[in-house]
Chains A and B, each alone.
Chain A
Amino acid sequence: MTIRLKAGPAGTPATLTAAVERERLLRSELPRVRSAAIAWRNALGALLAGLLGFGLVKGRSDIGQVAEPWAIIIGILLLVSLVCGTSGAFLIVRAAHGRPFVASIDGLMSRRLSDHHEALDAARALRWGVGFTLACAAVLVGAVAVMWYAPAAQPPTLLVTSPESGAVCGKVGRIDRNSLIIRSLGGEVAVTLSEVIGLQPMDSCPTR
């Protein structure tokens, strides 16, 4: 690359305006990026804090109550949300406060240039950080929505043995006074709890 400097055309008031404006923009560039990052940090922090309001609305909160494939989807969504949130927070803090690294003095041509480069890097980190944080919020809302509206998990299947009713296999229906109601293939069977001598969880009932 060959660089040469030559005399330019006569200056005009527009020359002065453009040169002064460029100088002022460059001098204030890094502080402007930093203050923009702090403003975004506060705004997005408030947005994420507002999402905690979801906890005030009663809904399903135990992932074990959700049917199997949906529970896995919720887990993946929460993981993606965590990664996005962590990345977004890191990038926005990096934009607002810089990197805690020591720069080599060899490659430093000018404080003005290094500040300009830092401003560009911080602006880039800010854009990515805002994107990641908004994605975190969106995925988190999606995870809560799936948690609330996904089909419920099936009740556990038990093989209950008692002297009066023998071995009964089926899904747990309810507990009615001292009896456990089992929904077996043949219909609902009441097993007296005090008579139970065997209780075994099953993946599925054996077919006869």
Chain B
Amino acid sequence: MDADLPYEESTDLSYGELAAQTFTVCVDSRETFLLSGPCPRCKGIFEAAIVGGIFEGSRSVASSGVGQPGQAIDRIEPMVCSCRHLHPGVPDAGFGCGAYWNVILSVDVS
């Protein structure tokens, strides 16, 4: 891990490709996905939860679910490095090294 890498909001197509190769995906009984692996830029290990619904004030909590059996769903998920290292230049209340990318989470319920 390159902890001294300065914070910089940057993206690259290779980030998504690297993440697809190195990240592991776990799903729990509530159909929440946990992606964990090294950041393609700073190599810091972090995890990202892909959830169907989230509490927002008093609004109802909804879940998008994972679809019907036999149906494959491709979800484009935005990712940002949220490693715990304090990179130089990270803004207040910010986190990670600033790298961001997209991955496609393909779920086939069979």
Question: Which residue numbers of A lie inside 8 Å of B, CB to CB?
Answer: 1-12, 14-16, 18-20, 22-23, 25-26, 29, 32-33, 36, 107, 109-110, 112-113, 116-117, 119-120, 122-124, 127
Contact = CB atoms under 8 A, between A and B. Distances in A.
8 contacts: A1-B66, A5-B19, A5-B35, A7-B16, A8-B16, A11-B15, A15-B80, A124-B61
Given A3-B27, A26-B51, A10 B13 contact: yes
Contact of A5 (B55, B95, B103): B103
Contacts of A10: 11, 13, 102
Nearest to A130: B58
Interface of B: 9, 11-13, 15-17, 19-20, 23, 25-28, 30, 32-36, 47-49, 51, 53-58, 60-61, 66, 74, 76-80, 82, 95, 100-110
Contact of B20 (A5, A15, A20): A5
A15 B78 contact: yes
Q: Could you tell me the dominant secondary structure of chain A's interface residues?
A: helix
Contacts of B76: 8-9
Contacts of B109: 1
A20 B90 CA distance: 13
Question: Among the interface residues A3, A8, A19, which one has the most CB atoms of the partner chain B within 10 A?
Answer: A8
Q: Closest 5 CB pairs between A and B? A: A8-B102, A11-B11, A19-B80, A7-B16, A19-B78
B61 A123 contact: yes
Given A8-B104, A16-B100, 13 more contacts: A1-B107, A2-B106, A2-B107, A3-B25, A9-B102, A10-B11, A11-B15, A16-B78, A109-B28, A109-B34, A110-B36, A117-B30, A120-B30
B77 A8 contact: yes
Contacts of B26: 109
